[in-house]
Amino acid sequence: MYIPLDAFDGLEGRLKILVIHSKFQLKSKLYDYTGGSLNKPLETQILEAEECLRNAMLNSDVKMLDRLLAPELIFTNHLGQVLSKEDDLIAHQSGMLDIKELTPSERVIKLYQDVAIIFVRVHLVGSYAGITSDSNFRFTRIWTLSSSNTWQVIAAHSTIVT
Protein backbone atom coordinates (compact mmCIF):
# COMPACT_ATOMS: atom_id res chain seq x y z
CA MET A 1 0.00 0.00 0.00
CA TYR A 2 1.45 3.36 -0.99
CA ILE A 3 0.44 6.60 0.67
CA PRO A 4 0.38 9.48 -1.84
CA LEU A 5 3.49 11.63 -1.60
CA ASP A 6 1.41 14.81 -1.63
CA ALA A 7 0.11 13.70 1.79
CA PHE A 8 3.49 14.78 3.15
CA ASP A 9 3.45 18.50 2.43
CA GLY A 10 6.81 20.18 2.97
CA LEU A 11 8.85 17.07 2.23
CA GLU A 12 9.03 17.92 -1.47
CA GLY A 13 8.19 14.39 -2.55
CA ARG A 14 11.40 12.89 -1.19
CA LEU A 15 9.75 10.58 1.31
CA LYS A 16 8.07 7.38 0.25
CA ILE A 17 6.40 4.85 2.49
CA LEU A 18 6.09 1.22 1.57
CA VAL A 19 3.98 -1.10 3.69
CA ILE A 20 4.43 -4.81 3.20
CA HIS A 21 1.69 -6.94 4.70
CA SER A 22 2.42 -10.16 6.57
CA LYS A 23 1.54 -12.28 3.52
CA PHE A 24 4.54 -10.87 1.65
CA GLN A 25 7.31 -13.44 1.54
CA LEU A 26 10.80 -13.03 0.16
CA LYS A 27 12.46 -16.11 -1.22
CA SER A 28 14.39 -17.74 1.58
CA LYS A 29 17.59 -18.12 -0.38
CA LEU A 30 20.77 -16.66 1.05
CA TYR A 31 21.67 -13.58 -0.94
CA ASP A 32 25.28 -12.94 -1.79
CA TYR A 33 24.88 -9.31 -0.82
CA THR A 34 27.72 -7.11 -1.98
CA GLY A 35 25.85 -3.86 -1.76
CA GLY A 36 23.35 -4.67 -4.46
CA SER A 37 22.89 -2.80 -7.66
CA LEU A 38 22.21 0.87 -7.19
CA ASN A 39 20.31 0.66 -10.49
CA LYS A 40 17.52 -1.30 -8.77
CA PRO A 41 14.61 0.56 -7.18
CA LEU A 42 15.47 1.71 -3.66
CA GLU A 43 12.77 -0.48 -2.11
CA THR A 44 14.29 -3.54 -3.79
CA GLN A 45 17.77 -2.67 -2.58
CA ILE A 46 16.56 -2.33 1.02
CA LEU A 47 14.46 -5.50 0.91
CA GLU A 48 17.47 -7.44 -0.42
CA ALA A 49 19.68 -5.99 2.31
CA GLU A 50 17.04 -6.86 4.95
CA GLU A 51 16.79 -10.45 3.68
CA CYS A 52 20.55 -10.76 3.65
CA LEU A 53 20.70 -9.46 7.24
CA ARG A 54 17.98 -11.93 8.28
CA ASN A 55 19.92 -14.83 6.78
CA ALA A 56 23.19 -13.65 8.30
CA MET A 57 21.51 -13.48 11.72
CA LEU A 58 19.99 -16.95 11.32
CA ASN A 59 23.35 -18.44 10.34
CA SER A 60 25.49 -16.28 12.66
CA ASP A 61 27.42 -15.35 9.52
CA VAL A 62 29.86 -12.94 11.13
CA LYS A 63 31.56 -12.11 7.81
CA MET A 64 28.27 -11.00 6.28
CA LEU A 65 27.19 -9.20 9.44
CA ASP A 66 30.49 -7.33 9.38
CA ARG A 67 29.65 -6.06 5.88
CA LEU A 68 26.05 -5.16 6.73
CA LEU A 69 26.66 -3.38 10.05
CA ALA A 70 28.23 0.07 9.99
CA PRO A 71 31.36 0.50 12.12
CA GLU A 72 29.54 3.08 14.27
CA LEU A 73 26.44 0.89 14.82
CA ILE A 74 24.46 1.50 18.00
CA PHE A 75 21.94 -1.25 18.82
CA THR A 76 19.58 -1.10 21.79
CA ASN A 77 18.38 -4.64 22.43
CA HIS A 78 15.16 -5.86 24.03
CA LEU A 79 16.83 -5.77 27.48
CA GLY A 80 17.73 -2.09 27.11
CA GLN A 81 21.44 -2.84 26.65
CA VAL A 82 23.28 -0.57 24.23
CA LEU A 83 25.55 -2.64 21.98
CA SER A 84 28.19 -1.78 19.42
CA LYS A 85 28.93 -3.57 16.16
CA GLU A 86 31.74 -5.45 17.89
CA ASP A 87 29.37 -6.54 20.69
CA ASP A 88 26.87 -7.83 18.15
CA LEU A 89 29.50 -9.73 16.17
CA ILE A 90 30.93 -11.29 19.35
CA ALA A 91 27.44 -12.39 20.45
CA HIS A 92 26.98 -14.24 17.16
CA GLN A 93 30.51 -15.63 16.99
CA SER A 94 30.52 -16.90 20.58
CA GLY A 95 27.08 -18.50 20.37
CA MET A 96 25.72 -16.21 23.10
CA LEU A 97 23.07 -15.25 20.51
CA ASP A 98 21.57 -18.22 18.70
CA ILE A 99 18.62 -17.53 16.39
CA LYS A 100 16.72 -20.56 15.09
CA GLU A 101 13.78 -18.79 13.45
CA LEU A 102 13.28 -15.17 12.36
CA THR A 103 10.03 -14.58 10.49
CA PRO A 104 9.24 -10.98 9.48
CA SER A 105 5.76 -9.47 9.10
CA GLU A 106 4.16 -6.03 9.23
CA ARG A 107 7.14 -4.35 7.59
CA VAL A 108 7.11 -0.60 6.94
CA ILE A 109 9.90 1.09 5.01
CA LYS A 110 10.41 4.85 5.00
CA LEU A 111 12.85 6.14 2.39
CA TYR A 112 14.63 9.46 2.35
CA GLN A 113 17.54 10.02 -0.07
CA ASP A 114 20.38 7.76 1.18
CA VAL A 115 18.61 6.66 4.38
CA ALA A 116 16.00 3.94 4.91
CA ILE A 117 14.14 3.37 8.16
CA ILE A 118 12.65 -0.09 8.67
CA PHE A 119 9.93 -0.95 11.17
CA VAL A 120 9.28 -4.68 11.27
CA ARG A 121 7.56 -7.19 13.51
CA VAL A 122 9.30 -10.57 13.69
CA HIS A 123 8.65 -13.89 15.31
CA LEU A 124 11.97 -14.95 16.84
CA VAL A 125 12.87 -18.37 18.20
CA GLY A 126 16.30 -18.69 19.76
CA SER A 127 18.33 -17.83 22.81
CA TYR A 128 20.36 -14.93 24.18
CA ALA A 129 22.84 -15.48 27.02
CA GLY A 130 21.25 -18.86 27.73
CA ILE A 131 17.69 -17.50 27.97
CA THR A 132 15.38 -19.06 25.40
CA SER A 133 12.78 -17.07 23.53
CA ASP A 134 9.83 -17.89 21.32
CA SER A 135 8.36 -14.39 21.06
CA ASN A 136 7.28 -11.57 18.81
CA PHE A 137 9.58 -8.56 18.59
CA ARG A 138 9.52 -5.21 16.86
CA PHE A 139 12.73 -3.96 15.30
CA THR A 140 13.56 -0.50 14.03
CA ARG A 141 16.63 -0.30 11.81
CA ILE A 142 18.20 2.67 10.11
CA TRP A 143 20.09 1.81 6.94
CA THR A 144 22.41 4.32 5.32
CA LEU A 145 24.38 4.26 2.11
CA SER A 146 28.07 3.96 3.00
CA SER A 147 30.91 5.76 1.25
CA SER A 148 31.51 2.54 -0.72
CA ASN A 149 27.86 2.58 -1.94
CA THR A 150 26.68 -0.37 0.15
CA TRP A 151 23.73 -0.32 2.53
CA GLN A 152 24.68 -0.67 6.20
CA VAL A 153 22.72 -0.58 9.44
CA ILE A 154 23.86 2.41 11.49
CA ALA A 155 21.28 2.18 14.32
CA ALA A 156 18.78 -0.40 15.55
CA HIS A 157 16.35 -0.98 18.40
CA SER A 158 14.31 -4.01 19.43
CA THR A 159 11.50 -4.63 21.88
CA ILE A 160 9.36 -7.59 22.84
CA VAL A 161 5.71 -7.41 21.76
CA THR A 162 3.42 -8.56 24.56
Structural domains of the chain, count: 1
Q: What is the dihedral of CA 97, 36, 21, 153, to 10 degrees?
A: 40
Strand-strand pairing, 131-145 and 82-84: unpaired
Q: Is residue 28 part of a domain?
A: no
Q: Is residue 33 part of a domain?
A: no
Q: Which of 14, 25, 74 is nearest to 47 (CA)?
A: 25
Beta bridge partners of 131: 128
131 φ, ψ to 5°?
A: -100, 120
Is 52 in contact with 68 (CB distance < 8 Å)?
yes
Q: Tell me, what CATH number does 148's domain have?
A: 3.10.450.50
pLDDT per residue rounded down to tens, the chain (162 residues): 333 333 333 433 333 333 333 333 333 233 334 455 567 889 999 999 999 999 999 999 999 999 999 999 999 998 899 999 999 999 999 999 999 999 999 999 999 989 999 999 999 999 998 999 999 999 999 999 998 899 999 999 999 998
Q: Is residue 31 part of a domain?
A: no
Q: Is residue 10 part of a domain?
A: no
Q: Is residue 7 part of a domain?
A: no
The pLDDT value given to residue 21: 33
Q: Is residue 80 part of a domain?
A: yes
- Give the domain extent around 59: 15-22+39-161
d(CA 34, CA 67): 8
d(CA 66, CA 77): 18
The pLDDT value given to residue 7: 38
Q: Is residue 6 part of a domain?
A: no
